[in-house]
Structure formats: C-alpha cells, structure tokens
Amino acid sequence: MAVAERYAVKESEAHWQQVWAERACFRATEDPERPKYYVLEMFPYPSGRIHMGHLRNYTMGDLVARYRRARGHMVLHPMGWDAFGLPAENAAIQRGVHPATWTRENIAAMRDQFKPMGLSIDWTREIATCEPEYYRHEQKMFLDFLKAGLAYRTETWVNWDPVEHTVLANEQVIDGKGWRSGAPVERRKLAQWSFRITRYAEDLLQAIQDLDRWPDKVRAMQTNWIGRSEGARVRWDLADRDDALEVFTTRPDTLYGASFCAISPNHPLAAELARDNPDLAAFIAECARLGTSEEAIETAEKRGFDTGLRAVHPLDPSWTVPVHVANFVLMEYGTGAIFGCPAHDQRDFDFARKYDLPILAVVAPRDTDPVAFAADLTAGTEAFVGDGVAINSRFLDGLGVADAKRAVIERLESLGKGEGTVQYRLRDWGVSRQRYWGCPIPVIHCPSCGIVPVPEDQLPVTLPEDVTFDAPGNPLDRHPTWAHVDCPTCGTAARRETDTFDTFVESSWYFARFCAPHSDTVAFDRAAVDYWLPVDQYIGGVEHAVLHLLYSRFFMRALRDCGYLAGAEPFAGLFTQGMVTHETYQAADGSWLEPAEVERTDDGGARRLSDGAPVTVGRSEKMSKSRRNTVDPERILDTYGADAARLFIVSDNPPDGDMEWSDAGLEGAWRYVNRIWRLVAAPPVPLPPAGTPVPVADLDAPTLGLYRRAHKTIAGVTEDLERFRFNTAVARIRELTNALGDLKADAPGAAAVARFCVETAVRLLNPMVPHLTESCWQALGGSTILAESDWPQADPAHLVDDTVTLAVQVNGKLRGNVSLPRDCPKAEAEAAALAVDNVRAHTEGKTIRKVVVVPNRIVNIVVG
RNA sequence: GCGGACGUGGCGGAACUGGUAGACGCAGCGGACUUAAAAUCCGCUUCUCGUUGAGAGUGGGGGUUCGAGUCCCUCCGUCCGCACCA
C-alpha cells in the first residue's frame, strides 16, 4: 500500500488537537444574537485513572457539542473535577500522601488521559471543587441559606459507620451495612446541619411535569422519591391522659373500621412508657436490633406490644381502641403513629389476625352484597384495598371512597380532631460529614452566643494543611489549633464547626459556576449565568437519577430565593447513558482473569495467553475491579487512536443501553476509519477539485440515485443526532459509503457525485471521528477546518425520488414489486400490480374482492 | 407489593404516525489479489423444504385490521428503581 493511502492516526490526532488548541476553537463566548447551547457531562471524581464509562460519557457529550457548534450555536462545553471525598482520605491513611496532593496529582493525570480523546472542551474553564476559590462561594451560599431558613441545625437519627467514624448518607448504606467498611450501620442521634429541601417538595414534584426532555424513568424515580400522598392528620385523645395521639392516614374514609392504634418503637410516647415498663423497653430494644436491612423487613413478622393505653375514636367518644407499639410503624414517616383498619390494609390485617383484633369491613365493592362481602373479608386472609362504597360507617354509608374521604375530613376539621394534609416521603437533606476532605461548614460554636456564622469578610474558612490520619475519626477534631477561635460576636474562646459538607453539595451548583468560573467576587456572574443556564443537554449515569439531580434542582431554587440567579431548573435536557460491560473470564481455580490475559479460540472457548490453560467465559457484566473485566482506555487510545474508540462507542448500540465492549467491535470501527481515509486518499473515481458543481441534469438514474442518497443521509443523520440515535446515524453513513462502491466511474457527472458523497460522509462523521475527518477534509482541499465549519444542508428537492418501488401483496403476503412514478394515480398502481407475473399466478381463477392501494408504499390485493 | 423499561437471526441491534421484518455492524462461510500471510475488495449468511419458488417466523395464546414487531386483551420471562411510606 502506498504511503499516502495509510492513515497515520497518531500524527493526525496529535496534529489536530494542537490546531484546535492554537485556534481556541472550543473557547466558549457569549453572543446574545446567537442561540446558545450548554452541553455538560457529569463531572468526574478524580480517581486518577479514566475508565471506559468516562470514555463513553465524554464521547457522547463531545459529539453533541461538536454537532451544535456546527449548527451555529454558541456552545459551552466545560470540564471540572468533583474533587472532595472519601477516597482521598483513604489514600492518606493507606499511603501517607496528603489528600490535597493526591487529588491534585490525580487531576493532572486524568487531564492527561482525557486530552488524547480529542474532546472539544473549553479547558480555560476548568474547576476543582476542592480549591478555596471554588468552595468559598459555597460557604457564602450556606450563610445565605441560614438566613433564609433553608439551612438549620437539628438532632436527627443518622446512619453511623462505626469503622469509618462518620455519618453515611442513605445511599451509602447497603443492606444495613456501610458501603466501604461492610460494618453494620448504627442508628445514632447527632446534631446535624440540614438543608430544607422539603420546603420545595411540591414545587420539585410539580415541575417534573415540565421536564419533557428528561427520561420518563428518571422522572418517575424522582416522583416516587418525593412520594406525595394526600390524607389526613387525625387526633386520637388518650383515655386517662392529658395528651393525644396524632396519626397520619391516607384512608380517613376507613375511620369507622379502626380497631387499634400503633406507634413506632422510636415514638416519644413509647420511650416515655418504656421508662416504667421493662418489658416494653425490651421489646423496643429488640425492634432496634432487627435493623432495617431488606431481608430483615421481608421476613420480619408484624409484632406489637400492647401499652395498655386506650385511644378515643375521634368521631365517637364512647369508642376506644388499644394502643400498641408496633415494629412496622416508622418514626420517619408521617407522625410515627397510625390507626389500624385491618379490613382495608394488609399490614393491619396481618397484625389484627396475630393479636386477635376485630376486622370490620367499612368499604365494599360496588354491586356486591355488603353483608356477605363483610363476612367473607372477616373470614379471609386478605384486606380489601380497592375502590368501593362505604358501609358500616354511619354518616358515610353509600359514599364512594373519594367522597367519603372529603366528608370525613370536613367532619374532623369541624370537630377540631384533625385536618386534611399532604405528606411527603422526601426528607430534609442532612449535609454534615465528620470528614476532613470536604468544604468546611462556616460556623462557630460559642459557649455564650450559641451558633455564630463566620462573618462574610472572613471567608473562606480554609482547610488546614497540617493534619494527620494516624487515628480514626475526623482530623479536624484533633487539630491542635484550627478549631480554636474567638467568637466573632462576643470574643470569648469558641470552637469552629469541624464537620464538612457532604460532597453532593459541591456538585449541586458546579454547572452554574462553569458559566463564569473565574469571577472571584461573586459565585455567579449574573449576565453569564442568565445567558448559559439552563444546561441544554446534561449527560451522565442513571445512578444519579435521584440524589444529585434532585439536590441540584433544590439548589437552583434555593439560590434563586437567595437572589443568586433567576431560573429554577438546572437541566433542561437529560440523557442517561448505560454502563460499559465486558465478558468475564475465570481460570480453572476460579480466579478472575483480565481480558488482556485471555485469548478467544475458534471453537468459541478461551484460553490463558501465558500457558494456554482453558478459561471459562462468563456473561458480560459491568466492568469492575473485582471481576477484573476492565479494559484500560489509555491503552485503547494508544493502540487504535481516539477516533476508532469513539466510533465504536457511538455505533455499537443505542446510547442509553448497556454497551458490550469487545475487541472485535473496536477493530470493526478501526477498519472503517481506515476505509474512510482510503476513500479520500485513493478514491474509486478521481475526484474533481473542491467546489465542482454536480451536473444534476446530466446524471443517469443510478448516479442521480446515489446523489439523492447523500442528501437523504444528511437529513437522516441530522434527525438521528437530534434524537440521540448515534448508532443509526453511523449506520446511515456506512450505507452511503457502501453505495459509493456501486458507482459507475464512466457515468456522466460520476466524479462530481463521488466527491459530493465523500465530502458529505466526512462532514457528517466529524462529530464522531473529529481527527480523521479533519485530515480528510484537508486532503479534499477544504479551505476551512471542520471544527469551524457549518453542518451540511440537505436539499429538499433531492429528498424524494421520481420513481418508487411498491410492494405487491396478495391477501397480505408479499408476491412482488412494481416500480412506478412517484404519486401515480391509484388506478395505475392497481393495474401495474395486477400485471406482475407472480401476482397473476396467485390471483388466477380467484375473485378479486378488494384492492388496497397505499400511495408510494404498497398494493394489497384481496382475493377469495 | 408499588413504579418504570423491555422481549426481533449465532451476537449487538434496525424497522418514521400499522404498510416489503432483519438496515448497519460483529462473528461465520465462499471467492479475488498474494509464493505465502496480513491488509484490502467482492459474494453469501433468519429457519425449513427446494430449480424457479413455497412455507414458517419478531417470548406463548387470543383479538382488531385488506395488512400487526408496531394497536388491544391475556399469560410467561428479563432488567432497573423504591419498598412495612400508613
């Protein structure tokens, strides 16, 4: 092969990356006259190594960014580092390296690994959340939240990891155990800083409806997480006591079916009663031991302890029910107390069976005999939770469930015994972490003034560098001087808050900071933020569907209400990409082998490269260190170059699904990269100079067909990219280049058409394989570079053909084809269809009952 | 249990609002080029029977329709999220 025909990947990719950098092609600038487009991938944690998930994530984002730039948008596509967090402290403990050093070195290493991908990122906007220039603004926000009542300190039950010596977020507790330590998590009551996310519960919920460019799946998950339920709070006076029990219910219509009340083992009343009742205290202790792991809940039976107290029915003072402490009542939801209506709630039913409590049906399905229904239900094992009409319910009898709810609430309100209310599952966000490597919470605890915010002119509160990790717990707590300060208000000796923020706080506003990352006086330059926000396309893993995305939505609202910015929704469009998976390999002794250690054999098996020992091929799973089925992106980029990797990533399967990484697939992409280059360097037809017009009128039918195919490809690819269908976009371009093989070189205008097709393919492929296509474009004699060029335009006149092929069916079965002028009259199509030989064979001797003609598509002849 | 997504060749996957199922790629088979190999190019590749052709076919069953992968009912199965949420 001639030298000119071989594509020099390394030289090409390095060259174009340098050209783009020199020309500052990807520097984001604001131009109010032009449409903007903000593309953002979820920023990475600087672990020090990029992985395949990064490669996939940033390839997709880059594709979108390059496409939008070509479409004439002012594009913002920045990169930063989610740089606080536990791994840095673990590295400090294990290897004695300071978290700051470890993090900064990792950032440098990962930046070096990202650069060869050829991403169209504005690197001048790079931020790292661990730097004081970044987190100082977060501290100011916190002070403003404090003033606005959006941040507060309270004693809450937390998940405490006894090994890590810190609080864990709910998502860090897996099956009741710490996600890193594996130690059973303890429930502890601690004074914690919390953000009042519940203030926006209704707004966060309602606004989900307008997030029409978010996946339905994520919208559903957020909706469920917020967990709105309408119902009533009902007060049950306690007999022989001065106080009352407040319960929450979604079924106030079943109040006349109540047979007990139950309170959580963590309910204050339970604690009070337990003081004089050792048996109850023992019961409560046992409930706590049972824990909250999934299988514990699954298998635990309903258990209760009768307190001996009686609660007075709110609608009938002569009616009392027993009050139990029950293991299935959660303190965290509602009021921590319920009334039990066994007939219409399965849990209450099970409980009533066990403790022999009455089961009285108060709702019956319409059109059933209430007496018989009630008898069946009482005798059976299942509660009735469906819709119906009230029975055995005095003034409610005959009302439907919805009407009965309204009527009861009205009665309760008039009696002062309760009121209609809305309950949310969502809880406030506890943000305190007993950790060093996080943003310091800027408050001071003063023995005489209490909690005193750090004055704004003293921000930022920076982390001390001289810390030790030789003992468990928070190094800030042990630091000899850092925490000891004078109270800003009264001047007496006081102590800094030593907790730091949950790292989800930094990621809740970084997207806004990217709009003007270097403004040091304010967190957000209003003009820049108003121009760029919201993010038009956010891309990341679905694992953040609830927490990060919900926290960010909360933060935008809180920042808006504190006067920082105007919008409420951070991400107008969201795309959740799937995981990267790979086959797993196990040696005979069960140990896992890396893909690089294994070779596939022709019979479909595999063997170890080192000694030829047989290897068991397991199913494809998410790449993980434990199964050793990871592939190192750095090596891929080094061997095949960025373009082949990028092409494989976007062409293999739909981007929202899991992608199976395979060497064969990558090599297929690599072959295509080289094929495209050959198309330019050694075209099937000598190409005329750039700008040679296509002599459309002179083209014969096949050549015109190819020319039109190129226009259709432009239209199709454009549509596919708009809809995130990268795989079909690539397939269309491959079809075009395949079709080029059928071009007759000596046909009139063939060379000009060939040039048009090659140019089109190159331009359409640019967002996927930017380096290769720049080289191609240059070789084709392009006067610009593609990174600064416009997206091709399809000519609508060439999107339709003059001649169309119609399928001909007889009784719905395909029997032939006919070629006809586009939009020809139905009668003509019918006649042509009936004339097809094979059609005649199937209609001969039969009566034609009906002929269906769908113009330009199909003719169906119905015979009988 | 609740909510969501989904089920198409050996594999990943195409198929616009019902209109020629299997685009494109991977793997496989055959051929060309080559002393040979690699690379490249061309052809075949859902299954069954076969010469043209025919029959079957989108998880199973049923329905609507001239026509169903697509719509409806029902059953089976897979994946994801939440879960004693009152």
- Report the alpha-carbon distance of residue A680 to residue A794 in Å, rounded: 22
* pLDDT per position as a tens digit, A21-58: 999 999 999 999 999 999 999 999 999 999 999 999 99
Q: Which nucleotide is nearest to A227 (CA to C1')?
A: B85
**Same CATH fold assignment for domains A228-424 and A803-863:** no
Closest residue (CA to C1') to nucleotide B20 in the complex:
A807
Q: Which nucleotide is nearest to A664 (CA to C1')?
A: B26
- Report the alpha-carbon distance of residue A236 to residue A255 in Å, rounded: 11
Mean pLDDT along residues A700-705 = 91
The DSSP-derived string for A172-220 is: GEETTEETTT-PBPEEEEEEEEEE-GGGGHHHHHHHHTT-TBS-HHHHH
For residues A236 and A245, is the Cβ–Cβ distance under 8 A? yes
Residue numbers in the known binding site of A for ATP are: 625
Answer whether residue A169 shows pLDDT above 80.
no
Residues 6+ apart with CB under 8 A from A353: A342, A359, A381
For residues A536 and A572, is the Cβ–Cβ distance under 8 A? yes
- A2 pLDDT band, cuts 50/70/90, is very low
Residue type, A415: L
- Report the alpha-carbon distance of residue A361 to residue A373 in Å, rounded: 8
CATH superfamily of A37-151+192-225+440-577: HUPs (3.40.50.620)
Look up the CATH architecture of domain A803-863: Roll (3.10)
Instruction: Look at the block and give the residue holding tokens 């840095």.
Output: A88
Q: Which nucleotide is nearest to A350 (CA to C1')?
A: B84
For residues A548 and A585, is the Cβ–Cβ distance under 8 A? no
Give me chain A's average pLDDT, please.
91
Report which of A228, A233, A188 is spatially closest to residue A207, judged by C-alpha positions: A228
Closest residue (CA to C1') to nucleotide B26 in the complex:
A665
Report which of A478, A489, A481, A480 is spatially closest to residue A454, judged by C-alpha positions: A489
Decide if domain A683-800 falls under CATH 1.10.240.10: no
Mean pLDDT along residues A280-287 = 90
Q: What are phi and psi of A390, to 5 degrees?
A: -70, 135
Q: How far does the CA of A662 sit from the C1' of B19, in Å? A: 37
- A134 pLDDT band, cuts 50/70/90, is very high
List beta partners, residue A349: none
pLDDT at A295: 44
Instruction: Identify the sign of the CA torsion A731, A733, A738, A739.
Output: positive
pLDDT at A291: 55
Q: Which nucleotide is nearest to A223 (CA to C1')?
A: B3
Q: What are phi and psi of A568, to 5 degrees?
A: -115, -30
Question: Nucleotides on strand B with an atom closer than 7 A to protein CB?
Answer: 2-5, 12-16, 19-21, 23-28, 39-42, 53-56, 66-68, 80-86
- A836 pLDDT band, cuts 50/70/90, is confident
Closest residue (CA to C1') to nucleotide B15 in the complex:
A728
The ipTM (two decimal places) reads 0.94
Q: What is the largest CA-CA distance in chain A?
A: 110
Q: How far does the CA of A862 sit from the C1' of B63, in Å? A: 21
Instruction: Report the relative pairing of strands A484-486 and A493-496 from DSSP bridges.
Output: antiparallel
Closest residue (CA to C1') to nucleotide B27 in the complex:
A664
Residue A511, H or E segment: helix A510-513
Report the C-alpha dihedral over residues A828, A831, A837, A839, rounded to 10 degrees: 110
Q: How far does the CA of A549 sit from the C1' of B64, in Å? A: 43
- A522 pLDDT band, cuts 50/70/90, is very high
Answer whether residue A545 shows pLDDT above 80.
yes
* pLDDT per position as a tens digit, A399-426: 999 999 999 999 999 999 999 999 999 9
Q: How far does the CA of A746 sit from the C1' of B35, in Å? A: 35
pLDDT at A574: 94
Q: How far does the CA of A72 sit from the C1' of B83, in Å? A: 48
pLDDT at A300: 65
Residues 6+ apart with CB under 8 A from A351: A260, A262, A302, A304, A324, A326, A328, A340, A342, A357
- A171 pLDDT band, cuts 50/70/90, is low
- Report the alpha-carbon distance of residue A483 to residue A822 in Å, rounded: 82
Higher model confidence: residue A627 or residue A562? A562
Q: How far does the CA of A515 sit from the C1' of B32, in Å? A: 59
The DSSP-derived string for A737-800 is: HHHHTT--TTSTTHHHHHHHHHHHHHHHHTTTSHHHHHHHHHHTT-SS-GGGSPPP---GGGSS
Q: How far does the CA of A56 sit from the C1' of B45, in Å? A: 31
- Report the alpha-carbon distance of residue A743 to residue A693 in Å, rounded: 18
CA distances to A224, A225, A549, A571, A724 from A219, in Å? 9, 10, 10, 13, 18
Mean pLDDT along residues A348-360 = 92
Q: What is the 3-state secondary structure (H, E, C) of A614-659?
A: EEEEEEEEECCCCCCCCCCHHHHHHHHHHHHHHHHHHHCCCCCCCE
Q: Which nucleotide is nearest to A720 (CA to C1')?
A: B16
Answer whether residue A293 shows pLDDT above 50.
no
Q: How far does the CA of A611 sit from the C1' of B4, in Å? A: 47
pLDDT at A3: 40
* pLDDT per position as a tens digit, A456-483: 999 999 999 999 888 878 899 889 999 9
Least confident of A173-177, A312-316, A366-370: A173-177
Instruction: Tell me the whole-structure pTM to 2 decimals.
Output: 0.93
Residues 6+ apart with CB under 8 A from A414: none
pLDDT at A339: 95
Least confident of A143-152, A156-165, A320-329, A456-465: A156-165
* pLDDT per position as a tens digit, A785-817: 999 999 999 999 999 888 888 999 998 888 888
Answer whether residue A448 shows pLDDT above 80.
yes
Q: How far does the CA of A717 sit from the C1' of B18, in Å? A: 25
For residues A842 and A810, is the Cβ–Cβ distance under 8 A? yes
Most confident region among A476-480, A732-736, A852-856 by mean pLDDT: A732-736
For residues A178 and A161, is the Cβ–Cβ distance under 8 A? yes
Most confident region among A103-112, A288-297, A577-586, A632-641 by mean pLDDT: A103-112
For residues A658 and A776, is the Cβ–Cβ distance under 8 A? no
Q: Which nucleotide is nearest to A335 (CA to C1')?
A: B86
Residues 6+ apart with CB under 8 A from A108: none
Closest residue (CA to C1') to nucleotide B52 in the complex:
A838
Axis crossing angle, helix A663-681 with helix A726-740, rounded to the nearest 10: 40
What value, to the nearest 5°, has the Cα angle with vertex A290 and ends A289 and A294? 140
Closest residue (CA to C1') to nucleotide B24 in the complex:
A731
Q: Parse chain A into domains and list their residue ranges.
A: 37-151+192-225+440-577, 228-424, 580-682, 683-800, 803-863
Q: Which nucleotide is nearest to A250 (CA to C1')?
A: B86
List beta partners, residue A246: A235
What is the third-level CATH fold of A580-682?
Answer: Rubrerythrin, domain 2 (2.20.28)
Residue type, A220: A
Closest residue (CA to C1') to nucleotide B14 in the complex:
A728
- Report the alpha-carbon distance of residue A246 to residue A238 in Å, rounded: 10
The shares of helix, strand and coil residues in chain A, as percent rounded to the nearest 5, are: 40, 20, 40
pLDDT at A721: 95
Look up the CATH architecture of domain A228-424: Alpha-Beta Complex (3.90)
pLDDT at A597: 85
Please tell me whether residue A248 adopts helix, strand or coil conformation.
Answer: strand
The DSSP-derived string for A374-437 is: HHHHHHSS----S--EE-S-GGGTT-BHHHHHHHHHHHHHHHTSEEEEEEES---EE-EE--SS
Mean pLDDT along residues A655-679 = 92
- Tokens read off for A476: 């800030």
Instruction: Look at the block and give the residue holding tokens 């319920």.
Output: A338
pLDDT at A470: 84
What value, to the nearest 5°, has the Cα angle with vertex A757 and ends A754 and A802? 95
Higher model confidence: residue A11 or residue A298? A11
* pLDDT per position as a tens digit, A601-612: 766 677 888 888
Q: What are phi and psi of A100, to 5 degrees?
A: -65, -45
pLDDT at A547: 87
pLDDT at A115: 95
Instruction: Report the relative pairing of strands A580-586 and A659-660 from DSSP bridges.
Output: parallel
A675-712 burial by CB neighbour count: b if 16+ within 10 A, else e? ebbebbbebbbebeeeeeebebeebeeebbbbbbbbbb
Answer whether residue A644 shows pLDDT above 90.
yes
Measured in whole angstroms, the distance separating CA A646 from the mean position of its chain's CA atoms is 22
- A436 pLDDT band, cuts 50/70/90, is very high
Residue percentage of chain A with pLDDT more than 70: 96
Mean pLDDT along residues A373-377 = 91
Higher model confidence: residue A830 or residue A189? A830
- A174 pLDDT band, cuts 50/70/90, is low
Report which of A46, A44, A41 is spatially closest to residue A63, judged by C-alpha positions: A41
